[in-house]
Structure 1
Amino acid sequence: MRLAAIWLLGLMLAVAAAIFSIYLVNTSVAGPQQPVREYVAALQKGEGAKALGLLNASVPQGSASMLDGTALQTAASNITDARFGDAENRSGNQVMVPMDYSINGSELHTEFLLERTGTRWLFFSKWSFVPASLPVLDVTVVNSNEASLNGVPVNMPSGRNSFAVFYPGEYEASLNGQYFAAAPTRTTLSGRDTPPPALNLLTYATDGLKDAVSGKVQEFLDSCADEADKQQRLQPDCPFYHATYNRVVDGTIDWSISEYPAVSIEPFGGRWVVAPLNGKARIQARQVDLFSGIVTDLNEVHEFSFTTRLDIAGDTVKVTPLLNF
């Protein structure tokens, strides 16, 4: 009788231990927090296919450039101090798993909705994310068909594009081209229900483009002055000219540029335009007063102004002077 009681007690303890073990497994490795941990780990490793499968998410229309590899890994790289809270019951077989974490020093909170979809080995619950669509991040850029998002070059047809993105994560857009650039702008996405604000890149012309245009302008003006000297013209086909009632001695006309225009390039009407170019040209010559016959030196500086058309194709910069005579 005593032996039977001992066996019964042992059996009860074994059953209790088994129940407790099942409880521990169901609240840890088989709990609803585990798929969330695996999902965040996949984001930080840049494993987009795995993350998408775990999240049970559909991919909306738009670019998928941010859903894998370096772009995805960069988005999740600053997620630190992740803490997964206790699951909170929702309607049906659904639960909400809260996650608190930091991104670049900012404390953030994300809620994941999961549902019980069955059991494993009879006792252990199987949890899956409730299916939903991924969020969409809109990016615009002024007068450019390309940009960089999380360090990855992306196409920007007509200066805009939409990108399917995972959450949580941080996304930074920038433009660092030879001729055009834009200061980086970023946004942090903590959930699927609140659309992220659009990233708008305000493009500006780089010093490289200004130098290239300035070189073209100086080349045009120097060439124009040289041609005016060869033709000995007071009013050449140039932005500058000299008018006088005196007779200028042939062979003495010498044009030079005393002040080259400062170049300013701004976006306007969907293209890049060069602001009106203002400079100064000097003419030196010998002149004869038609009334007195006195010969004097001519040395005058004339201000001039003209506009141009700017065309850029790849690495080629073309500046076309627009002159009115």
Structure 2
Amino acid sequence: MLVSRALRAFVTVAEELHFGRAAERLHISQPPLSQQIRQFEDAVGAPLFVRTTRSVQLTPAGRLMLERARQLLAEAEAAVHAVQRVARGEAGSLTLGFTHSTVYQVLPQALKAYRERYPDVALDLKQLTSDLLTDGVRSGRIDVALVRLSPSMMGPELEAQVVARDPMVLALPAGHPLAALDRVPAQALQGLPFIGYAPDGARYFHELIESIFAAGRVRPEVIHTSILPTLLALVEAGMGAALAPASVVPVGEGRLVCRPLQGVGETAQAVLSCIWRRDNANPAVPAFAALLPGGVSPVASATPAG
């Protein structure tokens, strides 16, 4: 700041070529300004002005210094502006993680809104499972992530914001007898050939459908486990039925149908959350979270997700 003030004082005097007018522009009196310029010349090691009783002129060294000083002041101003933009979350970088299912529900709108609002933030996108994303956020490798988060995955170091709740529906191959019903009773799942979720690759959905089975007091015949979207391909192939978030079931193509479940209450909801470390100092994190629907929510009390 001291160097910046000295440069600004020098440039002002060089532009005015008059100490009195320069002092007025700088809102200081003339004697301190004259002293500051002399100290600046001493520091530089060369006279920058030729002073007479009638005029002030730049020396050759002064003309060179004026050119360089203007460049330095412009660079300093640009640096301050850039730092302030990063501090406001308007520039810098953001590592954003997301699961496959968010592609159908929240991610496209969130990315569009964020890019329009913060075009100068460099985005590093990572698609992983919720478990891996949560580990990445916890370790600091990922700034913020859209995940299916179960209470067992939460910790005191994490902040979470619920951004969407998606009803779980029964996905069936076209022509399946249960597709004739508007709503499928939970008891109809008993003994039904079923495609489940792999506990090591889709822990959230594995835990969620187990809670749905418990609420409905049913136990389908799980013949295979997989993850989205492979699970839906297996349903389409006629290998069994499956429970999936309504937003990810491609019913418009006619190869799959989905029906709501009856008799399982509020358990049949998939919760999507945005998570980040509480101590993450990247200003782009709250800027991104602020564009998402919902607010800070006690995810520990929400439906298990994974």
TM-score in same-fold range (> 0.5): no
Q: Which has the higher contact order (CA 8 A, sep 6+)?
A: 2
Larger Rg: 1
Write 1 or 2 for the structure with the bigger share of helix.
2
Write 1 or 2 for the structure with the bigger share of strand.
1
